[in-house]
Structure 1
Amino acid sequence: MNYVTYGGVTVGACLLVWQAITWWPGRKQLLKDPVKHASTLAPFLLSWAYGALTTLGVGGLIGTASSAVLGLSNWLGDAALVWGVGGRAGTLAARPTFVPLSAPGVAIVLILTVAFVAAAKKSRFGGEIKRGAWCGICLGTSASVAGFAAVPLALAANWLGGTVYGAIA
C-alpha cells in the first residue's frame, strides 16, 4: 500500500511551486496571450495526472517504481523537515475513497507509460514531464485537495480501457 508522509507531500508541493514560479510569464504577458501561456502547462499537468494514476494500485514494475519514488520522496521530505527546519515527520491519512483500476484500466496505464517514457526522452519539455509525474506521485496518494483527482483519473482510465478493449473484443 502506498502511504504519504508530511515530507512526501512537502516534496510534491515544492515541485508544484517550482513549476508555477518557473512557468509564470508575468501578468501582462499572460493577459496578452493566455491560451499560449496556459498551453505550456499541459506537459506538466498531463504528466502529473499520469503520476497520480500510477499510485492507484498498479502493480508490477510500474507500481514498484511509483512506490519507490514515493518512498524516496517521503524520506527526503521528512529529512528536510526534521534536519532542515526542525519540524516533525509523520504519516498523513490516505485518500478515504479508493477506486481500483480494472484490467482494461491497467492496460491504459501501460500504454500511458510508453507515451510518458517517449515524451520524457524526446520532448523539449522532458524536465517538466518528469517533474510533473514526480509531483503527481507525491500528491496523488494524499487525502488533501491534491488527491482530489485520483478518483476521476481512475474512473477515466477504467472507462477508456473498457471502451477501447470493448471495441476490440
Structure 2
Amino acid sequence: MNYVTFGGVTVGLILLGYELVSWWPGRKALMKDPVKHASRLLPYLASWSYGCLTTLGVGGAVGFVSGTVLGLSNWLGDVALVWGVGGQGGQSSARTTFLPLSGPGLGVVLICTACFIAAVKKAGEEQAGVLKRGAWCGITLGTSSGVAGFAAVPLATAATWVGDRVYGAF
C-alpha cells in the first residue's frame, strides 16, 4: 500500500507552489483575461489527476513506477526536512482507506497512461516538464489526508464510472 510521509507531502506542495508561481501572470493580466490565463493550468491539472489516479491501488508496471516515485519523494522530502530545516520526517496522516478502482477503472488508468506518455513525447521541453511535475505532484499528494487527497475519491469514482460505460458497451 502506498503511504505518504511529511516529506512526501512537502515535496508535492513544493511542486505545486513552483507551478503556481511560474504560472502567475500578475493581477492586472489575470483580471484582463482570466480564462486565457486559467486555461494555461489545464495541462498541469490533467497530469496531476493522472498522477493521483496511479496511487489508488494500481498494480503492475504503472503501480510500481508510481510507488517508486512516491517512495523516493518521501525519502527526499524527509531528508530535506531533517537536514535542511531541522524538522522531523515520518508518516503523515495519510488516508488509510482507498476507493479501489474496478477492472474497467483500471483500464481507464492504462488508457490514461498511454495518453500521458504520448502527451509528454509530443510536448515541447517546457510543456513536458509541466506534465511531469503535475503527475509527480499528483502522486505525492494523492494519498494525503488533506484537500488534495480528498480529490482522489471523485477521480477514482469518475475513472470507474467511465470504465463501466466504455467497457459496458462491449
The residue number in structure 2 matching 1:129 is 131
2 CA distance for matches of 1:138 and 1:122? 25
Alpha-carbon deviation of 1:120?
A: 1.0
Number of residue pairs aligned between Structure 1 and Structure 2 = 168
What SS class does the counterpart of residue 95 from structure 1 fall into? coil
TM-score (norm 1): 0.97
Q: What CA deviation, in whole Å up to 9, does each residue of 1:12-52 have, x standing for no partner?
A: 00000000000000001011111110000000000000000
- Does residue 99 of structure 1 match 2:94? no
Amino acid at match of 2:168: G
Hey, what does 2:159 align to over in structure 1? 157
Query: Of 137, 143, 146, which aligns to 2:145?
Result: 143
CA–CA separation in structure 2 for the residues paired with 1:30 and 1:143: 31
Distance, in Å, in 1 between the alignment partners of 2:94 and 2:81 is 20
Matches of 2:7 and 2:52 in 1, distance apart? 17
Q: Relative to structure 2, which stretch is displaced further, 88-97 or 15-24?
A: 88-97
After superposition, residues 13-162 of structure 1 pair within 5 angstroms as 13-124=13-124, 125-162=127-164
Aligned CA-pair RMSD: 0.8
Q: Matched residue of 1:14: which SS?
A: helix
Structure 1 position 93, deviation (Å): 2.1
Deviations 1:63-89 (A, max 9, x none): 000000000000000000000111111
Q: What amino acid does structure 2 have at the position aligned with 1:165?
A: Y
Post-superposition offset of 1:123: 1.4
User: Does the 8 Å contact 2:12/2:137 carry over to 1?
Assistant: yes
For residues 147 and 7 of structure 1, what CA distance do their matches in structure 2 show? 15
Cα offset for 1:127? 0.7
AA paired with 2:49? A
Q: TM-score, normalised by structure 2?
A: 0.97
| SS of residue paired to 2:151 | helix
Unaligned runs of 5+ in 2: none
Q: CA deviation at 1:97?
A: 3.9
Q: Which amino acid aligns with 1:111?
A: I
| Unaligned ranges ≥5, structure 1 | none
Counterpart of 1:150 in structure 2: which amino acid?
A: A
Q: Which moved more, 1:8-17 or 1:119-128?
A: 119-128
Other structure's SS at 1:89 match: coil
